[in-house]
Structure 1
Amino acid sequence: MTKELHTKAIQQPIFKLIGDTSQEIGQDCYVIGGFVRDYLLEKRIPKDIDIVVTGSGIELAKKVATKLKGKPQVSIFKNFGTAMVKHKELELEFVGARKESYHRDSRKPVVEDGTLGDDQNRRDFTINALAISLNPENFGALIDPFDGIGDLNRKLIRTPLEPGVTYSDDPLRMMRAIRFAAQLDFSIEIESLRAIAAHKERIKIVSKERIVDELNKILMCDKPSVGLALMHQTELLPIVLPELTALQGIEEVEGQRHKDNFWHTLEVVDNIAKITDDLWLRWAALLHDIGKAPTKRFSKKVGWTFHGHEFLGSKMVYKLFKRLRLPLNEKMKFVQKMVLMSSRPIILAEDHVTDSAVRRLVFDAGDYVDDLMTLCEADITTKNPRKQRKYKNNFKLVRQKIVEVEERDKIRNFQPPVTGEEIMEVFDLKPSKEIGIIKEAIKEAILEGVIPNEHDAAYQFMLKKGESLGLKPVSQ
């Protein structure tokens, strides 16, 4: 990492303007944290920039805003002593340098004004404590008291202070360490790993929302299994997602074994991460087998079974989402549906693919049939090349069949060709169970291919079904 790269990071005119303005009001200022880290890693050019000030961050933000074209509005957060200025595509957050102390039962610190050194001490990791001076006398100088540059080169996550203190003070940092390791493809220093395991119970004082935010970021990594395996290794995972770790292990009875569904699940999540950036589809992959632990049974006749694990798993999704304060809305319902239907295309692919089975799949999955197929394809983790080819080819056939059936029968988002109102009118009925029976019979006839998904055919079928129920059209 050369000084040229540090200076290049702050070559935009805005940085010199901030430094000059800071000098006018008698303060020093530095760009610090994620912007510096990511720029030096040359991964991406970050748009959110933290400016630490040895004085009032709010005062500097206000002064800088008056000098910018268009005089952008300053968003002030007095409780945190911070201010935000949006300039073009950049988000500049100004904060006064501070030192912190913590109480045992809270991750909210007692904050006092401090120096740049104090501010760097309180940072979570050495790679996030890197600062670049914006002061005219040493503009572009890198301030790196903990060898963060060395850790960037070594691809290492390490805390500035003793890791036990860092993690005990703010236990969310344990999740952040794992998330950064997964995002950046870094290792966590061995002492840090041990400290996370030693302080794992402290994660319980962190709000569910903050934990889920880190979990989501882990799930959105290129290879989520890295973060999930680290959570498992440090024993955070059974505290946060006990339903997942309950899947771990292989049992053998009378020479019959089942696969380790925990490590299988991590493979499925990695597989789906190669295909989609849909966070909720990744959650579905993570939870698709959670019903297997409570439904696992062994019998001499058939060996290991997990009967009804999809149904139970979909019920468990609600409890898990509620506990973690994940959204209990359409996103949860989507995950539930994916878990409930996760074996349907697999069974279909193993059997002869009939039109009626595909129609039912499309009817039940609706707009999510493509997501369901993506999940099932990700579920292929066999290491046997012959089996893998077979499964992939079978799923290809199912996908082709879905297209054919959909084009012909228009089953997706199915609406009965004959409405309840029409049935009531034809047979002069008030709301009654017979209407539901006729509608269900029409739906079944269409799904089974007995009649096409057309009004005239459905109307004639309705007349016959009504007759079998002892009903007569009013015109007769």
Structure 2
Amino acid sequence: MSPDGLESSPAVPATTPDAPTPPLSMVEVQQRVSSELERIGVVVDELGERFEAAGHSLHLVGGPVRDAMLGRLQNDLDFTTSAHPDAVERLLKGWAEAVWDIGRAFGTIGCRKGDWTIEITTFRSEAYSADSRKPEVAYGTDLAGDLGRRDFTVNAMAVSVPGRVFEDPFGGIGDLAHRVLRTPGRPEDSFSDDPLRMMRAARFAAQLGFDVAPDVVAAMTAMAERIDVISAERVRDELVKLVCAPYPRRGLALLVETGLAARVLPELPALQLERDEHHRHKDVYEHSLTVLEQSMDLEERLAAPDGPGTPDFIVRFAALVHDIGKPRTRRFLEDGSVTFHHHDVVGAKLVRKRMKALRFSGEQIDAVSKLVELHLRFHGYGDGGWTDSAVRRYVRDAGDQLQRLHILTRADCTTRNRRKAERLRRTYDDLERRIGELAEQEELDAMRPDLDGNQIMRILGIGPGRDVGEAYKFLLEQRMDHGPQDPATAEAALRAWWAERQG
């Protein structure tokens, strides 16, 4: 085993959930759209008639049309219209059960009708000036202009209602059938209008498993620095969607290839270390992508709010960045071997800095950095076994991230050597078994000292202050070392500790 705790065999090649998918047939696409329109017709036709009667056009657009062709059903519907927001709001009131205008500044009015969530946006055009982080929004005059300002051809299709007339001025149906992302016009113009679309290209590649057209990739590469005008929050949101997509390797590889990653997550391309001449350490970048994919296979272990197997950003992102401390800590030894001592601690600090810059919440930052800091802890377990005290400390230090730490540690094994992989699996199985046994016996999840603060003050005859905190820490260490103790034993240990402190 290498000094950093990872197997030194070559990394397993990328798994292939994102292998090229056969093109869709036009007949299949048309059948899917027809079926989806029948499902949502009760809402879209009625709404279309309402707008038509008021002298306005209404068109189902974007993701709902694209997803209908892909057979992905949803209850979130996006429309564009010739009506301005005030008129849209009037038409929705009395028809929808709830109406909101949080997006009014961008020409969008939202509502809820039964199980449907609907957003209706006035025809518009928007663009970023050279140094602005916010788009300038202006209303458009027709559907073709509105579709032309959209990011990709597969999102630039529409169905006019109530007549259910299909509109595809930029060939989106053909691109969708061939699973390729193109822009309605020149990609340079599209990305100049909204640089975030470069990240959206990577995100859609990850979500849909689509290829990105060569001219789009070229424009992303040439214009990568334009992403700097986009707010950290918007970049963060796209990154989260990408990492939580079915094929994140596709999107991440595109970000690295085009140079966008160097601007939004520079620690990722930095993992492309030059391999030493003897090839004695892993390709850290490929290893990290593989760990990410293997963590996805283990997500079903988490009790996710939306059910087992729901994408979990925290564990996925921790898997992606768990080794980002390696470039800073790499050392070559005289025998040609490579070490990355303390890359776990260094990596945790780098994670905090990057996630803070991307405006992640404190809770998310704490969770990911804790996982990165602890991801090597397990490897000491197989070197001779741990005492019950060491197991308790592992649980205590992991805290509420214990289940994610189980996933990350298991996913971090990418050796091709089946014997070694099986040994690591069995060893971690044994650690989890011991954690389970101790948890059942000692309520590890609620681990506390055997005496509380009030009891400490009464026994020692002291008031609130630093000494009470120190005594609490001492008793918690006792709990770690010896397990639960009866009050008399805990009190005797506390008195002995106090007497020693008093000299």
Question: Is this a same-fold pair by TM over 0.5?
Answer: yes
Contact (CA 8 Å) 1:178, 1:231: kept in 2 or not? yes
Report how far residue 183 of structure 1 moved: 0.4
179, 190, 193: which one aligns with 2:214: 190
* Cα distance in 2, alignment partners of residues 57 and 6 from structure 1: 28
Match of 1:355 in 2: 388
In the alignment, which residue of structure 2 is the partner of 1:318? 352
Using the alignment, how far apart are the partners of 2:455 and 2:88 within structure 1? Answer: 71
Residue by residue over 1:192-222, the C-alpha shift from the partner in whole angstroms, topping out at 9 and shown as x without a partner, is: 1111111111110111111110000011112
Q: What secondary structure does 1:202 align onto? A: helix
CA contact (8 A) 2:275 2:281 kept: yes
Retained in 2: the 8 A contact 1:269–1:285?
yes
Provide the rounded CA distance (Å) in 2 between the counterparts of 1:112 and 1:38: 26
| Partner residue in 2 for 1:332 | 365
Aligned match of 1:111:
138
Letter paired with 1:456? A
**Cα distance change of structure 1 residues 159 and 463 upon mapping to structure 2, 3 Å threshold:** same
- Residue among 214, 218, 230 paired with 2:242: 218
Using the TM superposition, name which of 421-430 and 195-204 deviates more: 421-430
Give the stretch that moved more between structures: 359-368 or 100-109: 100-109
The aligned counterpart of 1:134 is: 161
Among 277, 284, 292, which residue is 1:261 paired with?
284
What is the CA distance between 1:332 and its match in structure 2?
A: 1.5
Q: CA deviation at 1:99?
A: 3.9
Residues 455 and 201 of structure 1: is their aligned pair in 2 closer, same or farther, counting only changes over 3 Å?
A: same
Query: Higher Cα Rg: structure 1 or 2?
Result: 1
Residues 1:33 and 2:62 aligned together: yes
User: Structure 1 residue 64: deviation in Å?
Assistant: 4.1
1:454 and 2:486 matched = yes
Q: 2:249–2:289: 8 Å Cα contact kept in structure 1?
A: yes
**Corresponding residue number in structure 2 for 1:228:** 252
The number of aligned residues is 462
- Aligned match of 2:447 in 394, 397, 414? 414
The structural deviation recorded for 1:300 is 2.4
Task: Mark the CA change 1:39 to 1:434 in structure 2 (over 3 Å): closer, same or farther.
Answer: closer
SS of aligned partner of 2:170: coil
Please say which of residues 201-210 and 312-321 is displaced more in the overlay. 312-321
In 2, Cα distance between equivalents of 1:469 and 1:81: 69
Distance in structure 1 (CA, Å) of the matches to 2:107 and 2:124: 10
Contact conserved, 2:204 with 2:210, CA < 8 A, in 1? yes
Q: Which amino acid aligns with 2:344?
A: E
Does the aligned pair in 1 maintain the 2:322–2:375 contact within 8 Å?
yes
Q: For residue 20 of structure 1, what is the aligned residue in structure 2?
A: 49
Structure 2 residues without counterparts, runs of 5 or longer: 1-25, 300-310
TM-score (norm: length of structure 2): 0.85
Aligned pair 1:248/2:281, yes or no? no
* Rounded Cα–Cα distance in structure 2 between residues aligned with 1:302 and 1:398: 33
CA distance, structure 1, for counterparts of residue 499 and residue 121 of structure 2:
78
Match of 1:87 in 2: 113
Q: For 1:217 and 1:286, how far apart are their aligned partners in 2?
A: 14
CA contact (8 A) 1:314 1:339 kept: yes
Q: Is the 8 A contact 1:350 1:394 kept in 2?
A: no
**In the TM superposition, what are the counterparts of 1:382-421 in structure 2 within 5 Å?**
382-421=415-454
1:163–1:435 CA distance, 2 compared to 1 (3 A):
closer
- Percent of aligned pairs sharing the same letter: 34
- The TM-score with structure 1 as length reference comes to 0.89
Give the 3 Å change call, closer, same or farther, for CA 101–170 of structure 1 in structure 2: closer
Contact 1:250/1:259, CA 8 A, preserved across alignment: no
Moved more, 118-127 or 219-228: 219-228
Structure ranking higher on relative contact order (CA contacts 8 Å, 6+ apart): 2
1:292 and 1:454, CA in 2 relative to 1: closer, same or farther beyond 3 A? farther
Structure 1 residues 422, 204: closer, same or farther in 2, change over 3 A? same
What amino acid is the match of 1:282?
Answer: R
Q: Assess, with a 3 A threshold, how the Cα gap between structure 1 residues 150 and 351 changes in structure 2: closer, same or farther.
A: farther
**Distance in 2, Cα, partners of 1:25 & 1:112:** 19
Written as runs of structure 1 = structure 2, the 5 A alignment for 1:36-115 is: 36-43=65-72, 45-56=73-84, 58-66=86-94, 68=95, 72-75=98-101, 77-100=103-126, 102-106=128-132, 108-115=135-142
Greater Cα offset, 398-407 or 432-441: 432-441
Deviates more, 1:193-202 or 1:338-347: 338-347
Instruction: Name the stretch that deviates more: 23-32 or 73-82.
Output: 73-82
Deviations 1:36-92 (A, max 9, x none): 11011102x2222122223435414422433x275x435364422222121112122
Q: Give the 3-state SS of the residue equivalent to 1:246 in structure 2.
A: helix
Deviation per residue, 1:448-468 (Å, 9 max, x gap): 33x644323322333444455
CA contact (8 A) 1:298 1:304 kept: yes
Answering whether residue 319 of structure 2 is matched by residue 285 of structure 1, we say: yes
Q: What's the CA shift string for 1:421-470, capped at 9, x where partnerless?
A: 43443343466877666554443343233x64432332233344445556
**Residue 169 of structure 1, CA deviation:** 1.8
